[in-house]
């Protein structure tokens, strides 16, 4: 076994174990006391296996399956979606600083959710907000791509600049909705933009998980073409890659991955930017390895961030997006410094 393959196997194994440990530990945290053995015992009993103890607290099993497990699963799925989307977007733009928000999907989702909050509580149910956020993210992404396309081609710089302009416009709309909203709706808008897994349900998981599975599978399927694109557009075309169609497909996949996730959790920053950059530093630029590794690492990062959000302050569920930003921004700055010192370019 080569050294690179051994490192890849070790990293993937470590990520899987980390996700498992974080999931079990996260399921233990809450007002109803639960031990890791009881968490595993509850899962085994649901699978028909009489292994391990059941939760000693009378409400322990119900709490695990109705509150904690949906939160853990949704956090892992959304984290995997954001990590995968970041790797895909950085690959298709050939830019390690690209992240899902650059194509407007996050700001568009925020506009959709904010508009529902302003319409009134009678229309702002969980599913209505999620549907509006998902639609807003997709529509904004399509708008950015349509405006950036010229002469049958999509220039990366033009797409990014268009995304910046649309994000600014969306920010203005969000500010307008916040200004005209009632105090209660204003609080909902602000809290939604900070991100949280507090409202996780199995119904949300049932919507997000299939979309995430399809998006991650599609990303892995085109990973070899992303490797060819990394050699340059002209080289990729000579090797049979339809660059424009690849970009179209990748942008749609990113929009679905991110919009479906933030529709139920609110905006979560820096996961799609930091995670692929970190995995590229450890595993190299090959996308057939980078994409699934970014998905696994994204799941672990979001589970860890949610754990911090629930444990840093007693009996307080802190905003998840705030945690990822406070940790992600300095960490990303450190990675940039390290990259510049060592290579002066791609990590």
* Residues 209-244 pLDDT 10s: 999 999 999 999 999 999 998 888 888 888 888 888
Percent of the chain past pLDDT 70, that is, above it, reads 93
CA distance 26 to 24: 5
| 50 in any annotated domain | no
CA distance 93 to 132: 28
| 103 in any annotated domain | yes
In the prediction, which pLDDT does 124 show? 52
Q: What is the CATH number of the domain that holds 172?
A: 1.10.3470.10
| 95 in any annotated domain | yes
SS3 for 75?
Answer: helix
CA distance 200 to 204: 6
| 38 in any annotated domain | no
- Most confident stretch, 12-16, 106-110, 145-149, 314-318: 12-16
| 243 in any annotated domain | yes
| 48 in any annotated domain | no
**CA 34 from centroid of its chain's CA atoms:** 28
In the prediction, which pLDDT does 122 show? 46
Angle CA(139)–CA(319)–CA(18) in degrees, nearest 5?
95
> Given a cut of 80, is residue 286 above it in pLDDT?
yes
| 236 in any annotated domain | yes
How many independent structural domains does the chain possess?
Answer: 1
> Given a cut of 50, is residue 87 above it in pLDDT?
yes
Is there a contact between 226 and 154 (Cβ–Cβ < 8 Å)? Answer: no
| 156 in any annotated domain | yes
What are the CA-CA distances from residue 344 to residues 233, 286, 337, 339, 347 (Å)? 22, 19, 9, 6, 8
Q: What is the pTM of this model?
A: 0.89
Q: What range does the domain containing 182 cover?
A: 78-342
Q: For the chain, give the number of residues.
A: 347
In the prediction, which pLDDT does 345 show? 46
């Amino acid at each position: 076994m080569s050294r690179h393959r051994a490192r890849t196997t070790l990293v993937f194994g470590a990520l899987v174990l980390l996700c498992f440990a974080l999931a079990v530990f996260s399921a233990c945290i809450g007002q109803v006391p639960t031990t890791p053995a009881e968490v595993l015992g509850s899962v085994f009993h649901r699978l028909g296996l009489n292994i391990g103890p059941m939760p000693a607290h009378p409400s322990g099993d119900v709490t695990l399956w109705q509150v904690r497990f949906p939160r853990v699963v949704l956090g892992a799925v959304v984290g995997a979606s954001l990590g995968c989307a970041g790797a895909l977007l950085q690959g298709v733009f050939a830019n390690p600083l690209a992240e899902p928000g650059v194509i407007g999907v996050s700001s568009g989702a925020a506009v959709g959710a904010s508009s529902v909050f302003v319409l009134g509580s009678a229309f702002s149910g969980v599913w209505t907000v999620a549907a509006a956020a998902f639609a807003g993210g997709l529509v904004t992404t399509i708008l950015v791509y349509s405006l950036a396309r010229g002469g049958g081609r999509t220039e990366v710089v033009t797409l990014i600049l268009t995304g910046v302009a649309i994000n600014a416009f969306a920010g203005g709309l969000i500010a307008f909705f916040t200004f005209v909203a009632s105090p209660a709706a204003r609080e909902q808008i602000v809290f939604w933009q900070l991100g949280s897994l507090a409202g996780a349900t199995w119904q949300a998981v049932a919507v997000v998980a299939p979309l995430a599975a399809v998006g991650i599978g599609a990303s892995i399927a085109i990973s070899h073409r992303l490797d060819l694109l990394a050699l340059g557009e002209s080289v990729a075309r000579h090797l049979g890659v339809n660059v424009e169609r690849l970009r179209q497909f990748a942008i749609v996949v990113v929009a679905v991955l991110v919009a479906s996730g933030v529709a139920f959790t609110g905006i979560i920053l820096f996961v799609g930017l930091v995670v692929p950059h970190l995995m590229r530093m450890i595993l190299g630029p090959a996308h057939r390895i980078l994409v699934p590794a970014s998905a696994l690492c994204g799941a672990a990062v979001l589970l860890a961030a949610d754990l911090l959000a629930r444990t840093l302050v007693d009996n307080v569920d802190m905003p998840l997006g705030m945690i990822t930003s406070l940790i992600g921004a300095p960490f990303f700055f450190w990675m940039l410094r390290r990259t510049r010192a060592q290579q002066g370019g791609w990590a």
